[in-house]
Structure 1
């Protein structure tokens, strides 16, 4: 066969759309003519016929035959491998050309996409700039996802601002910019650039929210209906795939095999300050516990606890979703529990594979884990009331008291402190908020200002992340007529000191629409009563859940006016606050909130109930775990 004629014929067939015929000619030709143009045309035909993996391999062969133009062929091959789901093949090609990735947005996009999925964000810094400067919308969207991860990084802040200034009409970049300004309490900027979003929502344009990050969305929007639309970076759930997973055969054993997945499995993280004791208490005669751990190595280096007490550790750090699937399948897990949801460091998307017959969300994300295949979300009647059911694709597995576990064994106990050693006024009523600064909105500051004006002998004790936060917060207070002398700032402190210093305040005062979560339970553990108000979504109902679990429902105000009125009333009647402090000390080791043993029994019963439904061939449904009888004897001592 004349090779020139054959290649020309194959080219003509390709141009005419006769891909199968062109492919047949090339398959004959390839035995005698192994060159770049032949392999490239072979790849094009394979791609047109839908064989992306084979097309990627053909482009790889073209690169082998064309040293001068190899990079362009390899880049296409890597892109096709990524699209076909062959992440390891794509990454192998990309990493061989790593030196060019900082200057080539397409290659940077391939590497960054894979490492975002695998939560290897430690490797992504070199690619942020090239992606943010690209005119390709996909590249820019990925840059936005990268930039929202570390808000303290000056590079991230500057690039986020630049993206918004370049493309002010791009909703994704507007939302990203708003994340940054909220982080530093830049209230005027936040309100100015949120106004068009509020206007769109007022007209019913809820699709506007689809460009918002699910986690940061909760920091400004307490509307449980609206929360369902913040889905950037996710893909809609496929009901067919969900049904397929639920219908897969499964081999059960005498023990229930629980898998917990998280990147927070080290003793210094807030999640483990809550969860550690429950993991230790799991009944090993009835349950096998496996931790699928993708914690970053630098955090594991700080860990001092024997993690084997928590369960079997399976290292999944940096693995592809396919490799995570293999790791979970190797343990034959019955119930997989995602502890992250849509928070930084999450691998929740890996749950969109058939990891386990039952898949559950718990603890990390205060809401529905949008577009992730989960059967249940663990909550309680406060955070997940019946009115919330229409806004979740997950069914409710409700604990009888609070959904939040707490650790009375490994958490340090508060030690005596004085106001003098903390630099606090002896004769003032001290309101305190140790919540993250991003939770302090302009509406929250305005409410606190009204409280301070009505309670003249009071001050507000705040934790400031940075000098920028401090300056912006002070500016807002002063603009509302509250003297800077009445605002006392403190920095972050070592955990043991923080637990102790809280009791020097009189009353914790909560934020909205996102409450204190771990922060509130720390305050209650430290002996500081917390005032909150009824919320409108999971994130704004957490403090209510915790207060009810320690028998202080009267500190849950019905609305904003009642919240302000009660704050003032308590400031003017410090004897009532003293009674609340005595109550917390008395209830610390008998009320449900810090009773890890009781919580573990309820959780394990919940697991048994959802296993029973699955074994009986029933689809997931809402389940309320019944409460054990109340304790009559303390589980610990204040001594």
Structure 2
């Protein structure tokens, strides 16, 4: 056979769409000619005939041959392996070309998509910029998912800036840009772009919200109806799969097997500052506890606690969703609890697989975990009132006092501290806010300005995350006519020092629409009363829940005006503040808020009801857990 003539014939057949004939000619040719162009043409024919996996192998062989097109052939092989689900083979090729992938969005997309799914974010950090500069919508959407918790990370800022600059009419990138504006309290920039969103909503177009991230959406929108529309990065629930999961065969035992899934299983994370005592207190005769941990090694190296006290640890860091499914099913879990929801580092999407007969959302995300297959959301009567039911696909499991667990054993006790030690004025009334700066919206800071003007002998003690936050906040206060001397900034502090310093203030003032959550319970633990007002969604009702559970309901104002009026009134009545502080000290070890044993008993009642319904084949239903009798003696002492 004349190889030159045969290859030309195979090429002509391919160009004419005669793929089967071209493939037959190439198969004969392969006996005498195995070079890059032959393998590449073979791959093209296989693609046209629908044999993508075989085509990937052929492109791989073409890429292994020396020649000017070797890299392009390898890239085509990687793309086809990725499309056919052969992720390991795709990565093998892509990682051999790692340096070039930092400049090639197509290869960067493959590496990023796979490692993002496996929660191995460190590897994909170099690809943020090239993906954000691509014109391919899929690349841009993936780039938008690469934001990490650290919004101070310059690569995150560059990514957001590139996306919005290139596509200013894209609402998803506008929302992304707004995340950074709010993070750094750039109120002018936030107001300018929020006006576009508000104008669209005023016309009744709620679809714009589908471009917003469910977590960051809560930081500006307290409308519980609107909250369920923020769904970017999620896919609609498949109700047939939900029904199939609930009805799948399951082997029950005399103990209820609880599985908790989180990336926060290390002792310095806020979640574990709340939860670890509950995990230790679970009744080992009635429950088996397994922690499915996807905590990154960069965090675990800072953990000083023996995590085996919390339960059996199963490492799923970097596992695919399918691998997570296999390992969870291997442990035959009865109730799987997602502790993350739509927060950074979440693996909530894994719950759209049949992990267990009962799926539960709790603690990490203050709202409905949209588009995730959860049977129940754990809350209480304050964060989940009756009016909220239409806005959740989950059934309500309401604990009798507060949904938030608290750890009175491992949390440091507040030690005496003076204002002089902290550089605070002795004779002023001190309002304080230690909430994350992104929670300080334009509306919040304007409210604080009004309070300060009406309470002339007061100052605001304010935590600033960065010099940029401090500069933007200072500018706004000065523009509003508040003297710089009345705003006292402080940085973050080591945890024990932070617990100590809070008591030097007179009154914590809450943020909205996202309240302090762990921050509020820390202030109450540290002896600082917190003022809030009734919210309109889960995230804005948390401080009310905590204040009720520590027996300070009078610090929950009816609305924003009442919040401001009460702040001013209290600034003029230091005696009432002294009474509140005395009550906090009295109630710390007898009220429900910090009573971990009582909380655990209520939570275990809930788990038993959930398991019993599932064992009987009953569908999930709303449930209210009855309260144990009130304590008559403290559960601990000073």
TM-score by length of 2: 0.94
**Pairing 1:375–2:375 present:** yes
User: Residue 251 of structure 1 aligns with which residue?
Assistant: 251
Q: Which residue of 1 aligns with 2:211?
A: 211
Q: CA deviation at 1:83?
A: 3.1
Structure 2 counterpart of 1:307: 307
Matches within 5 A, 1:41-440: 43-44=43-44, 47=47, 52-64=52-64, 68-147=68-147, 149-440=149-440
Per-residue deviation, residues 564-612 of structure 1 (Å, max 9, x unmatched): 1111111111211111111111111111111111111111111111111
Other structure's SS at 1:416 match? coil
SS of residue in 1 equivalent to 2:146: helix
- Do 2:36 and 2:67's aligned partners in 1 also have CA atoms closer than 8 Å? no
Which residue of structure 1 aligns with residue 535 of structure 2? 535
Partners of 1:527 and 1:581 within 8 A in 2: yes
Distance 1:28 1:246, change over 3 A: farther
SS at match of 1:261: strand
Is the partner of 1:229 in helix, strand or coil?
Answer: coil
Q: Gaps spanning 5+ residues in structure 1: where?
A: none
Q: Say which is worse superposed, 77-86 or 179-188, in terms of deviation.
A: 77-86
Is the Cα–Cα contact under 8 Å of residues 261 and 293 in structure 1 kept in the other structure? Answer: yes
Q: Which moved more, 1:510-519 or 1:317-326?
A: 317-326
The equivalent of 1:472 in structure 2 is 472
Q: Is the 8 A contact 2:185 2:441 kept in 1?
A: yes
Shift of 1:148: 5.5
Contact 2:184 2:472 in 1 (8 A): yes
Q: Which moved more, 1:419-428 or 1:123-132?
A: 123-132
Residue of structure 2 equivalent to 1:556: 556
Q: C-alpha distance in 1, partners of 2:625/2:44? A: 57
Distance apart, 1:176 and its partner CA: 1.2
Q: Counterpart of 1:579? A: 579
1:436-455 aligned within 5 A: 436-455=436-455
Q: Structure 1 CA distance, aligned partners of 2:334 and 2:60? A: 41
Counterpart of 1:360 in 2: which secondary structure? strand
Note the 1:19-38 alignment, pairs <5 A. Answer: 36=36
- Classify the secondary structure of the residue corresponding to 1:180: helix
1:140 is displaced (CA, Å) by 2.0
> 1:146 is paired with a residue of what secondary structure?
coil
**158-167 vs 450-459, which moves further:** 158-167
| 2:593 alignment partner in structure 1 | 593
Whether the aligned pair in 2 keeps the contact of 1:148 and 1:179 (CA below 8 Å) is: no
In 2: Cα distance, 1:186 partner to 1:299 partner: 30
Deviation of the 1:125 alpha carbon: 2.2
Change beyond 3 A, Cα 1:573–1:334: same
What corresponds to 2:458 in structure 1? 458
- Say which SS state the counterpart of residue 124 (structure 1) adopts: helix
In 1, Cα distance between the equivalents of 2:525 and 2:353?
39
- Measured in 2, the distance between the counterparts of 1:155 and 1:29 equals 50
What SS does structure 1 have at the residue aligned with 2:336? Answer: strand
Q: How many residues align?
A: 638
- After TM superposition, give the deviation of residue 244 of structure 1 in Å: 2.3
Aligned CA distance change for structure 1 residues 556 and 333 (closer, same or farther; 3 Å):
same
| Contact 2:397/2:624, CA 8 A, preserved across alignment | yes
1:451, 1:568 within 8 Å by CA — same for their partners in 2? yes
Partners in 2 of 1:501 and 1:629 — Cα distance?
Answer: 34
| C-alpha contact (below 8 Å) 1:613/1:619 kept by paired residues | yes
SS at match of 2:359: strand
Question: What is the TM-score normalised by the length of structure 1?
Answer: 0.94
How far the C-alpha of 1:32 sits from its partner, in A, is 7.5
Alpha-carbon displacement from aligned partner over 1:259-298 (angstroms, at most 9, x marks no partner): 1111111111111000010011111111111111111112
User: 1:343–1:36: structure 2 CA closer, same or farther, 3 Å change rule?
Assistant: same
- Write out aligned runs for 1:584-623 (5 A): 584-623=584-623
Q: Deviations over 1:386-445 (max 9, x none)?
A: 211221222222111111110000000111111111111111111111000010011001
Alignment check: 8 A CA contact 1:510 1:516 kept: yes
> SS in structure 2 opposite 1:359?
strand
Equivalent-residue separation in structure 1 for 2:50 and 2:203 (angstroms): 42
Gaps of 5+ in 2: none
**What is the alpha-carbon distance in structure 2 between the residues aligned to residue 269 and residue 17 of structure 1?**
60
Change (3 A) 1:266 1:13: same
Q: Deviations over 1:48-102 (max 9, x none)?
A: 5655445434433443456653332332232233333333332222212212211
SS of 1:208's equivalent in the other structure is: helix
